[in-house]
Amino acid sequence: MNILIIDRFDVYRFGLKSLFQDKWNSSVTYEAGNFEEMLELVYGTDFELIILDIEIAPYPFIKEFIAQATNYTKVIVLLESKEADHKIKDLSMADGVIYKSGSKEDVLNTIEFLLAT
């Protein structure tokens, strides 16, 4: 399973990658720290899952990216906290939401549920 984590913070990408390696040791996890890195990776690799920090680029770019990406893969939007829910009002086309403030179990449960659908 190919997974792409797109987040501004190295530490958060590292944490998610560690969770995936523990849970799905055969997965291959790619990382992008900015919008340009994301575009380079996304057009050269098939991903089963993309986890996207919506703060990585201006909102119109994120909205268009999610609209396109959900045609070929699962996309989970990554938010700072539940207080940031207002930022995803137009992003209902995403397959799911996880919070950086969420527990390890919440994050894994959300991803497992999404991958099972």
Token representation of residue 89? 């009002």
Spatial contact of 79 and 99, defined as CB atoms under 8 Å apart: yes
Domain of residue 48 covers 2-116
Evaluate if pTM is beyond 0.75.
yes
Q: What is the domain count for the chain? A: 1
pLDDT in tens, 75-86: 999 887 655 555
- What residues contact residue 28 under an 8 Å CB cut-off, 6+ apart? 1, 2, 3
CA distance 83 to 79: 9
CATH code of the domain covering residue 88: 3.40.50.2300
Task: Give the confidence band of 28 by pLDDT, cuts at 50, 70, 90.
Answer: very high
Backbone angles phi, psi at 30, to 5 degrees: -105, 155
pLDDT of residue 93: 79
Of 38, 46, 21, the closest CA to residue 78 belongs to 38
Of 17, 8, 95, 99, the closest CA to residue 57 belongs to 8
Whether the per-residue pLDDT at 2 is higher than 90: the answer is yes
Q: Higher model confidence: residue 4 or residue 22?
A: 4
